[in-house]
Structure 1
Amino acid sequence: MTDIFHEVQDDLRRERMKALWDRFGWLIVSVAVLIVLGVGGWRGYEYYQGQQAQAAGDRYQAASRLAAEGKTDEARAAFASLAADGPKGYQALGRLREADVATSKDPAGALKIYESVANDGGIDSLLRDAARVRGAYIAVDHAAAADVRRLVEPLAVDASPWRHTARELIGLAAYKANDAAEARRQFEAIVADAEAPAGARQRADLMLAVLPPAPPAPAAK
């Protein structure tokens, strides 16, 4: 009797499963296919991304070799190409390196590239800050003091790890523009900063030594 009861239960279970399959089988198959396609698509995308990154790395190395060999024009063109159509991370690096190799022949063009990187909100802030500093080094010799200030003044704040370099660049630009008071203010800020690197402090001391003395404070009435 027990065996018959189990057989009836099995038959009922099979009937219910068949009914469910007849009703929802297409949905189960569709979901399974979508899962397989999704996993396969993601794996394919990962492979594609890896291939793209490897190709971009090869292009970057090739452009770097051109720069090391002194082939400035070819290197600049190669970095510009990578900046135009490479993966996102390599685009920013390509722009920075393009500006690097352009500096000797086309400082104005290099400065323009550095400024574009510095003002690009889609780029990592560390790269943007590096572009500000590199651009300011060029601007000290090839642009106005206001251009230097515009680039690095956001970094010349107490919380910035770039503050010593930024203040030094603003001070140098002011010195070249015969603004002794501003130059002295920047170099004194470096000397007064206990965290200033020894080299920056020494250069600031030298600049303060060649600057005209600060005017005496007005006498109290």
Structure 2
Amino acid sequence: MADIFTEVQEDLRRERLKQLWDRYGVLLIALALLVVIGVGAWRGYEYYQAREAEQAGDRYEAASRLAQDGKSDEARAAFAALAADGPAGYAVLSKLREADEVAKSDQAGALKLYEEVANGAGDEMLRDAARIRGAYIAADIGTLDDVRRLAERLAAGGPWSALAREAMGLAAYKAGDNAEARRQFEAVVSQADAPASVRQRADLLLAVLPPAEAQPGKPADPAKTTD
């Protein structure tokens, strides 16, 4: 008797499975195919990205060798091409290197490229590097306000602080604002973590600036005036 019940239960299970398969079998096959296709597509995309990154790395190295060999025009074109169609990371880095090459003959053009990186790069370190490089060019061909727009935020602290202050000090000196130039260079000299070379340059520039009390337009000390 127990065997009969077992056979009946098995028949019922088979019938239920058949009904479920008849109803959902096509859907299950479709879902399985979607999973297989999705995994395959993801693996293909990963392979494509790895290959693109490898090719971009080779192109970047080739452009860097051109720059090292003094072939600036060719290096500039190679970096520009990679900046235009390379993967995101290499594209930004290449635009930064393109700006470096452009700066050798066209400072205004280089400044524009640096500002594009500073305003658009996803990587904060690259944005800050572009701001500093652009600030030094702006100190040469632009105004104090141009330099402040690029460097002032970086001067507040961090690894770029001394360089940012140096760039603003140079721009102030060029603009004839000796008080501001002195303030920036003194801040560099007193900054404990400033690179030694930057502190030395700031010391030299402080030496050529007029003494603080001799700066034009400085109000006289009331204690030193006589009736």
Report the Cα offset of residue 150 of structure 1.
Answer: 1.9
Counterpart in 2 of 1:199? 197
In 2, Cα distance between the equivalents of 1:162 and 1:72? Answer: 27
Counterpart in 2 of 1:178? 176
Q: Find 1:211's aligned residue among 204, 209, 212.
A: 209
Counterpart in 2 of 1:189? 187
Counterpart in 1 of 2:129? 130
Counterpart check, 1:103 vs 2:106: no
Q: Which amino acid aligns with 2:130?
A: A
TM-score normalised according to structure 1 size = 0.92
Instruction: Show structure 1 runs of 4+ deviating over 4 A.
Output: none
In 1, Cα distance between the equivalents of 2:173 and 2:102? Answer: 26
Q: What secondary structure is seen at the aligned counterpart in 2 of 1:14? A: helix
Bigger shift: residues 37-46 or 160-169: 160-169
Q: Which amino acid aligns with 2:181?
A: A
Q: Deviations over 1:144-187 (max 9, x none)?
A: 33322221112111x33211110111111211222111101111
In 1, Cα distance between the equivalents of 2:40 and 2:28? Answer: 18
Q: Deviations over 1:121-160 (max 9, x none)?
A: x421110100011112222223333322221112111x33
Q: Which amino acid aligns with 1:178?
A: G
- What's the % identity of the aligned pairs? 66
Counterpart in 2 of 1:20? 20
Counterpart in 1 of 2:10? 10
Q: CA 1:207/1:92 → structure 2, altered by over 3 Å: closer, same or farther?
A: same
Structure 2 gaps of 5+ residues are none
CA RMSD of aligned residues (A): 1.7
Q: What pairs up with 1:20-169 in 2 under 5 angstroms?
A: 20-120=20-120, 122-157=121-156, 159-169=157-167
In 1, Cα distance between the equivalents of 2:129 and 2:42? Answer: 35
Structure 1 gaps of 5+ residues are none
Q: CA 1:123/1:188 → structure 2, altered by over 3 Å: closer, same or farther?
A: same
Q: Which amino acid aligns with 1:219?
A: P
Q: How many residues align?
A: 219
